[in-house]
């Protein structure tokens, strides 16, 4: 069973074991991750890979970023803090 359903993407969301470990280590709960996925900005890496990131007001370690693969479902591969958006050359 999926971890949650994204209304934004219209797909089930799966959180990998690695992403769960990253969330626990960084103090990110399910509700915060869901907020990032549903409301965050998107930067595409390729056709199916992207970063979804959001500044969370109550946190000092921003940006919160999820590395995501989008296919039949959304798969969250890892979750990062203090992430920086880089311009591509």
Q: What is the pLDDT of residues 32-81, one digit of tens each?
A: 999 999 999 999 999 999 999 999 999 999 999 999 999 999 999 999 99
Nearest partner of 14 among 23, 5, 2, 22, judged by Cα: 2
Predicted confidence at residue 89, as pLDDT, reads: 45
Average pLDDT over residues 3-22: 98
Gap between the Cα atoms of 59 and 81, Å rounded? 10
Q: What are the backbone angles phi and psi of residue 48, rounded to the nearest 5°?
A: -120, 0
Full set of structural domains in the chain with CATH: 10-80 (3.30.2310)
Q: What is the pLDDT of residues 68-83, one digit of tens each?
A: 999 999 999 999 999 9
Whether the bond between 45 and the residue before it is cis, its omega within 30 degrees of 0, is: no
Nearest partner of 29 among 69, 9, 58, 70, judged by Cα: 58
């Amino acid at each position: 069973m999926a971890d949650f359903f994204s209304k934004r993407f219209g797909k089930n969301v799966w959180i990998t074991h690695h992403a769960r470990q990253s969330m626990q280590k960084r103090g990110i709960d399910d509700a915060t991750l869901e907020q990032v996925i549903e409301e965050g900005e998107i930067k595409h890496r390729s056709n199916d890979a992207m970063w979804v990131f959001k500044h969370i007001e109550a946190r000092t370690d921003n940006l919160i970023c999820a590395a995501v693969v989008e296919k039949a479902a959304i798969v969250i591969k890892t979750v990062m803090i203090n992430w920086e958006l880089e311009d591509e050359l």
